[in-house]
Amino acid sequence: MTGPPPSGRVRVMLVDDHALVRAAVRQAISAPDVEMVAEAATAEDALQIALQVRPDVLLVDIDLPGMDGIRLVRELAPRLPETRIVMLTVSATERDLVEAVRAGASGYLTKDLAPEALLGAVRGIVSGELVMDPRMAARLVRRLVESPHGGGPHTNDPDLATLSAREAEVLHVLAEGLTDRQIAETLTISPRTVETHVSSILHKLRAKNRSEAARRYRETT
């Protein structure tokens, strides 16, 4: 989903097992154009509630009792393709960051950010902005590029092997579910350059669309 929701209000759901945290987040995002539509204290409850309310933004803590937040994201992301999922956690570890993005998260925030920054992130995520500290974004890209699951020399697919280093880098991030704008911000290039790279990737892979290219990347690397 890109751009503001049709209702004009951003509908938010929060999953966190601490009542004080839920209260603080509720107060932080209180605004005429943002509405907290649901809360859950466990991933198990969140699975049912999220599928019913289908929020525009889903804020999820990683450390939850029972099923953890990353597994919850993995379960919900395919079922709620229009929902932007953002991790809101105390963890700043690279492992949690990468696993969350691989699971389907569109953003990653730590709980030490200012209330106004959280409100801005909620508004920004529905417009396609990258909701992640720049340093964490850089770590994410570095991890994805260095991963043995990358394209180029690490793949047995001859078409993937024809991609340039930058095209392989773009495909790495594209396959993680980031939008063109997010890819541009993450790789510090212009959206038009991203479009050019994506067009070249589709041509070289003989793929009909981005989804097919991402699927082929995941299946063959």
Do residues 109 and 132 make contact, with C-beta atoms less than 8 angstroms apart?
yes
Q: What is the pLDDT of residue 94?
A: 83
Q: How many CB atoms lie within 10 A of CB 74?
A: 17
Number of other residues whose CB lies within 10 A of the CB of residue 213: 22
> Max alpha carbon distance in the chain (Å)?
53
CATH of range 10-129; options 3.40.50.10320, 3.30.70.660, 2.60.40.10, 3.40.50.2300: 3.40.50.2300
| CA nearest to 115, candidates 209, 179, 25 | 25
Residue 4 pLDDT:
55
User: What's residue 146's pLDDT?
Assistant: 62
Q: Report how far residue 101's alpha carbon sits from residue 11's, in angstroms, rounded to the nearest whole number.
A: 22
Rounded to an integer, what distance in angstroms lies between the CA atom of residue 54 and that of residue 139? 31
* pLDDT for the residue numbered 151: 41
Bridge partners of residue 15, in order along the sequence: 40, 60
Q: Encode 142-172: b = buried (16+ Cβ within 10 Å), e = exposed.
A: eebeeeeebbbeebeeebbeebeeebbbbbb
- Nearest C-alpha neighbor of 46 from the set 64, 28, 34, 27: 64
Would you state the structure tokens that stand for residue 34, as one six-digit string?
């943002």
Cα angle 211-129-23, degrees, rounded to a multiple of 5: 115
Determine the topology of domain 142-220 in CATH: Arc Repressor Mutant, subunit A (1.10.10)
- pLDDT, averaged per 10 consecutive residues of the chain (221 residues), comes to 64 97 96 96 96 97 93 90 94 86 89 94 90 82 60 60 81 85 82 90 91 84 59
Give me the residue spans of the domains in the chain.
10-129, 142-220
Q: What is the pLDDT of residue 110?
A: 93
